[in-house]
Structure 1
């Protein structure tokens, strides 16, 4: 069974060819059904196009097809013998920044497309910044439409220099440049004979081989409790006293016999068993979903945290964070009252302070901003009614990320990344 999964997001300006690139990956890796291809060919002929428009494989919404743009995050799945892939095709329009944040928040890698004719656009910079803000570990800049500049090496090198200069201001851990033509398949799945000067791998080869195992935090053991399991089957005496704590490991490695501490009580105990759907295991690590059974009877509830006694997250009511505001109907302002969903804990919060609004195009900080509107990003201080068990987002995306919810409508109105406990 193929268990190695790579999640990647595509981003870039409108009409840079993101949907065509994904269509090409699906088509050339033989990951689409014949009836899907037939439907695409019929639609393409109906629009007077000579060859199948592979972008239609990802532009699933009818409105998108009619306008020729992507307006929502479209998720696609495909597999090769080496790896399984989950693609988030994010929209390019400036007003859909929140969708880009949604698509990239769980990504291991981001592919940023740049049109070889137009070079680096405002949206290319915006999406590169957002990818680094969201701590996406690997960045690939795919210089697309190389066929329209006669596969010119100088043009590719010019874009590479320009992007490298911009990336120097960002926190980019791994940056790769690949010249491609999504329309013709150059350097997408196979190396292109049109660009003999390019010595790197094709995009798919890079996606198959990029090392992601070390991106996960295997140092800080974190287990947010999602559900307390109490079967209480009277006819089965073994289950009569069963009390397990189900959840997903959010970091580190937990082993049978390990000493652990329960937060918020601070009581210590040991792990008696680690149960899974397939039976007991000796150890569990991120992102496994397991049930922990402890040696001592401790009062544990949903939203509590199990971790190591000498390696704990910060227990904080005041948290500094970067927030992307996602609400069209209301503004984020100081004194705003919301709900925060952090790991498995939901608590009431108030915006204690707005430190600055960030211009994601220039990286300028506006400290005089009075609030955040739709798609704007800013640094805020939140005060929670209950303690939150947080790590910096840079260290652990699972315990450093959260969403903000409107307590009246239950709508998600913001996404945030913890910078520090205040």
Structure 2
């Protein structure tokens, strides 16, 4: 446990609520304050997500009783307590909640609180989105050493702890009554208030019995440090709390949720549009790749698997024997074109295919003017046996085909044939 949120609830909804946010490991007060009334508990819901909530109840609402525990009831203490204390409490036992605090031999110490009040406190917390981890009387959070009484002032209340499970809470105005009770008990020497009172707050000015002076410590700090000194809780039986995630009812939570939801929806739409755009780009790229494949390999058939078909053709080409005359063809074409007055950027090469069996090279070329095509035909005919296809004019370009045969190879081929 790192942080705790200690909340001291009042007796009535219109009374003030004291609270402190405390770091246990660092012994550090992170924040503290006072709410004007119970309805303002929602202001603490943000702190509750990071802290265990320790709830202190006014000592006036919790009475401490003790009784002898029959042996047959040791295994079912909770069920036996109402009947055992029926004569010791003023209210109907069905309206009261009983919690066993300690069992020493055959005597059990019991905390008694009204069902109506503890349920009211839980309703206050639930309405604010808070869930208590523990709930104890406020005076039980005071430190205690045997032989002394400790006290602290919280708001208009004085909290006193006289023993391990003995204590009470009084309003400032009721202190004179305490003095009278103490004076009467002093005569019989039968009062725990004969002990020194070690106060963590400045003693009241009208105190008529001994208060031990000490370092003044803020009441909330004292209670925050002491509320974890034992494992007692009033949240037993029907009030046992399940460990659930606390969802704070923050102001503007609905607006925040709508903003987050809108952001998520817009993000999904944006990602959907990006995905659609990428899908379209992929389709366009695939179409261009298929067109380039068909133009490069002169394969008019449908492309089913571009990568597989391309790899098959390239592997087939790699397995074919070397073509000794192709490089001669290309070198002579390059020399012939270099001697012409046609700019290379004005020539458009659409296809080039070598027929190894007939030692011929098929070209599909486009130029800008008929005169350039005539110049190209004359230049190539000096080095090759040339067959020209039909001239076709498309827009501002003249296209045609040439079938070139090497003159030397053709002569040798004719000799072999004869």
TM-score, normalization by structure 1: 0.21
Query: Larger % of helix: which?
Result: 2
Query: Larger % of strand: which?
Result: 1
TM-score, normalization by structure 2: 0.21
Q: Larger Rg: 1 or 2?
A: 2
